[in-house]
Amino acid sequence: MIKATTTWKITSGYTDYEFALNLMRERAAAIRAGTAQELVWLLEHPPLYTAGTSAAAGDLQDADRFPTYQAGRGGQWTYHGPGQRVAYVMLDLQETHGSVPARDIRGYVAGLERWVMTTLKTFGIKGETRCGRVGIWVVTGQEEKKICAIGVRVSRWVTWHGLALNVSPELSHFDGIVPCGIREHGVTSLADLGVKASMDEVDAALRENFTAIFG
């Protein structure tokens, strides 16, 4: 039995979405079987749209624009693409992780939210949560815009999927969907907010702040 120790994997280039799904599925099963360590996997995908288990067909507004995939996670429609740091998190929730209690899915999602907000603070951005709206939001002028989407799946207490933080993606690519089913608010990114952060800098902040939240 391998002790639950979190390892990190950073993949350069663009990772095929179906490849990522298969790897996450296999890794989650191995963690549950005690034959693999927990994993945080940082990557970028080519442009694509993914549908969560609550996705409405009508919220896919341009089906021909990019490939679409059934993600199997919670949530609705999400865009992934270059300039967006995706973090897939595979943890064994039967164990306590830092400030996140064992077997507490809501606590785990709240931990992901704190992780992102603390990371954004590193770059001088105030990220906020909103009741009834999963993800992290930024107030710009009179508007609220989403900067990070969160969608998870938990299989036999092992997590997979995770979050997508907008570093410098092409924001017009979100126009082909209603992101997370929310029509009244837009999306933003670090670059859109005037923060010139490299992906390496974002990765370093994510790793440092993950330890602060999850131990």
Amino acid at 117: M
DSSP-based three-state secondary structure for 45: coil
Q: Catalytic site residue 180?
A: yes
Contact 8, 207 (CB under 8 A): yes
- Residues 113, 127: Cα–Cα separation, whole Å: 9
Structure tokens at 170: 């092409």
Cα dihedral value 54, 57, 59, 64, nearest 10:
130
Tokens standing for residue 180: 């997370």
- The identity of residue 123, as a single letter, is F
Phi, psi for 106 (deg, rounded to 5): -65, -40
What are the tokens at 35? 């034959």
Rounded to whole angstroms, the Cα distance separating 180 from 164 reads 12
Please identify which of the residues 116, 152, 180, 197 carries the catalytic annotation.
Answer: 180
Rounded alpha-carbon distances, angstroms, from residue 52 to 56, 86, 103, 192: 9, 16, 22, 26
Could you list the active site residues? Answer: 180
